[in-house]
Chain A
Amino acid sequence: MNTSHDAGAAQPVQHNGTYMMPVESPMRTAQDAARLEGGDAKRGANPGRRMARVRRLRVVAAQIVLAVVLIGSWQLLTTWKVVDPFFFGQPSGIAKQLKDYFTQGDQATEFGSYWSQIFTTMREAVFGFLLGTAGGIVLGIGLGVSPFMAKVIGPYIKIFNAIPRIVLGSIFLVAFGLGPTPKILLAAVLVFFVVFFNAFQGVREVDRNVLNNARVLGASKLRIVKDVTLPSALTWIIASLHTAFGFAIVGAIVGEVLGAQSGLGLVIATAQNQFNPDGVFATMFVIAVITLCVEFILTRVERRLLSWRPPSQSEAAAI
């Protein structure tokens, strides 16, 4: 829950502008609010501010209750054998498994330390992500600026998109062996389509007036792409990156489940073969945490790159 403080600090408040009041982040921690109240009695006494704080605390409380109820009932139902922990694991077992994974060093898995498995998977996912993103942006913008090529190649891309691409993993595995290459390729293929479609759409949404204006002012084709098309499509491209990284992880894991010498996918496959659901759930949990961390980083990057955007209406209204 303490990420809320960081989210507050990252709000793009402009100090030089008169257009925007520095708005309190809707998710401030209770300590922050208390400190504010002590430091500035007048602000603390503001009834609107107090109401907003109460509303935030109510949401957080409800979220905690929800988590306790869900995890608690899972634990209780498996303890009472209403649900068989042999198939569905048990929260306490998962916690113990996580502890084992991170404390047993090189003995944690048959293929080395748990950290090295995380490293393997992350490396594959990141390389795949970069490769797929680069390909998606280049081709998306290339086709976006050339209507003729878009018409010619468009249907083929739709066909490729309709193919269940996970299956490509098997082909990559046969062609490139058990190393990281097939996982990187699978991740890249999954990422490519997400980024491609967004980049393509982003280019087509470029304002015609802005484009014509740049042309009349004497911009070359290259300058138009660099100064108008690319920045304009960036909003779309960045929005796609959140989903795209999730796909990169999926590609890497699936590739590893199909056949690998190390990685989190292999850990899952092994735990499954040993009838160890706690191992599967524990690794799932770790992957979710990694994805959330990357998501957080991407959000920061997005705020930085798109800082020129006007503050959205809904942000203010949410308070």
Chain B
Amino acid sequence: MATQPVTGVPGARIEISGVTKRFLTPSGEVFTAIKDVDFEVEPGQFCAVVGPTGCGKSTTLGLVSGLDKPSEGEVRVAGKKVDGISDGVSFMFQADALLPWKTVLGNVALGPSFRGVKKKEAEAQARDWLRRVGLAGFEDRHPHQLSGGMRKRVAMAAALINEPRILLMDEPFGALDVQTKAIMQTELIGLWEQLRPSVLFITHDLEEAVALADRVVVMTSSPGTIKAVFDIDLPRPRGAIQDIRFQPEFLELHRQIWESLREEVETAYARTAGVAA
């Protein structure tokens, strides 16, 4: 299992067409989180979603993973309508989703173990993945004994061990300091280039979005709709994330997308400020 170099499972196409998601609040009111959302992620593409706080970015991810169902419209993964947890999907959250009572090895081995792989085989796979994210020798530690960056690596190994066709990331590096974030971004891109799953990556950080993604989707403030879609044609491999930020093409794309995003951020901010006043 998992021989080097990894051949990789081809990523799956994600089609989101005419999706609206409404929630019923406990007081009985209807809250529309996202409205008529339409976009596509090509197989193996890295797609980033940016938008103001509370615009329904995470809701969109939940719909693709099958944790939630759309109120209207449909989500298709590899041409199949999502109904229940979609197969071949992995999730990475901003907060730790590691089990604190399991060792690092046990946490990474969860994916195969949940799918019925024998314990020994699952642990062998987990060992291999820990080596690939640079954590060999830390197998027996518990999550609380690791730094934030190391925990992210564990989460990354745990998400990739199932060799997903789709990787959903909800601000995965949002809580990290700037230096650790840059290292983790470079590592993520390295692993993504080996496996090539389709990635849907949510972030607040526009620089991060432009540096990592092939496509950037801008969402409007609540209820979230698609405002614009930008294709990022920076060549790959892009090398270290820190260096790309100073290239003129990067700066130009950043400026264009920010133009589009700024208005929404300001609207969202005015709304929260209005509520506060």
Contact = CB atoms under 8 A, between A and B. Distances in A.
A193 B113 CA distance: 35
Given A216-B67, A218-B115, A227-B110, A207 B97 contact: yes
Given A212-B97, A219-B114, A309-B100, A17 B91 contact: no
Contacts of B89: 216
A217 B110 contact: yes
A217 B111 contact: yes
Contacts of A19: 144-145
A209 B114 contact: no
A319 interface: no
Given A228-B99, A231-B101, A214 B142 contact: no
Contact of B141 (A17, A210, A228): A17
A308 interface: yes
The interface size bin for chain B is 20 to 34
Contact of B91 (A16, A213, A223): A213
Contact of B97 (A16, A210, A231): A210
Contacts of B115: 217-218
Interface string A9-20: 000000011010
A212 B85 CA distance: 10
Contact of A218 (B85, B97, B145, B158): B85
Interface string B54-87: 0000000000011100000000000000000101
Contacts of B17: none
A47 interface: no
B93 A223 contact: no
Nearest to A224: B114
Q: Which residue, A19, A213, A215, A306, has most C-beta atoms of chain B within 10 A?
A: A213
Interface centre among B67, B89, B142, B158 (most CB of A within 10 A): B142
Given A218-B85, A218-B111, A218-B114, A213 B141 contact: no
Interface string B160-176: 00100000100000000
B136 interface: no
B110 A209 contact: no
Contacts of B141: 17
Nearest to B144: A310
A223 B110 CA distance: 10
B110 A308 contact: no
B95 interface: yes
A16 B104 CA distance: 14
Nearest to A305: B101
A209 B101 CA distance: 16
A308 B67 contact: no
A220 interface: yes
A223 B117 CA distance: 13
B90 interface: yes
Interface string A52-78: 000000000000000000000000000
Contact of B100 (A214, A216, A308): A308
Given A212-B67, A227-B99, A218 B140 contact: no
Given A216-B65, A216-B90, A231 B111 contact: no
Given A19-B144, A227-B99, A310-B142, 6 more contacts: A209-B97, A215-B67, A216-B91, A217-B111, A218-B85, A308-B100
16 contacts: A209-B97, A210-B98, A212-B91, A212-B97, A213-B91, A214-B110, A215-B85, A216-B65, A216-B67, A216-B89, A217-B91, A217-B114, A217-B158, A308-B100, A308-B101, A310-B145
